[in-house]
Structure 1
Amino acid sequence: MRPDLRSLTSEDFQLNTVHDDKLGREWFFSFANDPEIMVRGNADTPDVVSVEQINCVIEHLESLALRAVQLLETFMKDKGAWHLTTIDCARKASMLECDFVLSFCFEAERDPYEYIYTYFDVGFIVLETSPAIDKFGRPVKFLIGFQ
């Protein structure tokens, strides 16, 4: 685990008042140097299972982020630096039909501004009967979008 990250409790989260629709309420927490964390919940509290899941992702974040970046790099023409911005176990994960999503931004070596409005989301699923490498999440899809 990155030294600047820690396990979270329900009390760490704040209700996201921007979205409130059929996908349910979401709660957020931001670490000082990213990433932002999004979990499911209701109007009163974050979902306990979602908080447990996010803590598992945080605990294994180094290997999960490495797998996400390896997947993305197989489709990239440029070399550069990846920056994790969000871990989502809420709205975005539901929309992508995944258990959680790691979101990244990218800075190309040859032109640091080329991808400034681009985001890269990698969706993971967690299966009970997975090989050891996929025990904490298997990347199954990615989405590239523009802000």
Structure 2
Amino acid sequence: MMMNIVTITADNWEKYRRPIWQFVKRYQQENANSDSSRWLFQLRRHHFNRPGTSIKLVLWDGKMIALMACSNYGTTNSTFIVHPTYQRTHIVLNILKEMKEELGVCYTKIKYDHIHIVKMALQAGFAAIGYADSHEKVSLWFAGGHWHKNDIFERELSVE
């Protein structure tokens, strides 16, 4: 068994576009950050040239088991979905570290009650910097790398 992390680029977007959409549709409701995945369906090749836009896939023997995607370093859009079977593994830690290393700074929201994913984010060097309370769902904002809390929209971020 072999795990592989794939970075999506403008060159391989067409190859992975449909599998990504299918994965998102199937698992977004069960995941730590699923309310902001609609933007992926409008993503086009030219978007990969924008700073802070990245998609990472985790493949296990060729099967997609995790996805992390962000635009504008995660301040505008951030999607983080892990197959339910693998949510309690270190795959979460690996994909968070990869995204942070590639972009230099990365933001994402994680539902507060997904404790294992919150722990993995902390182990990956992310810091909980605030919370967002919308539609009766409370999510924690996490930042990794060279972050600054002012990067997150003030209306989004609630810090005591």
The answer to whether TM tops 0.5 is no
Q: Could you state the TM-score of these two structures normalised by the residue count of structure 1?
A: 0.31
Bigger Rg, structure 1 or 2: 1
Q: Could you state the TM-score of these two structures normalised by the residue count of structure 2?
A: 0.29
User: Greater helix percent: which structure?
Assistant: 2
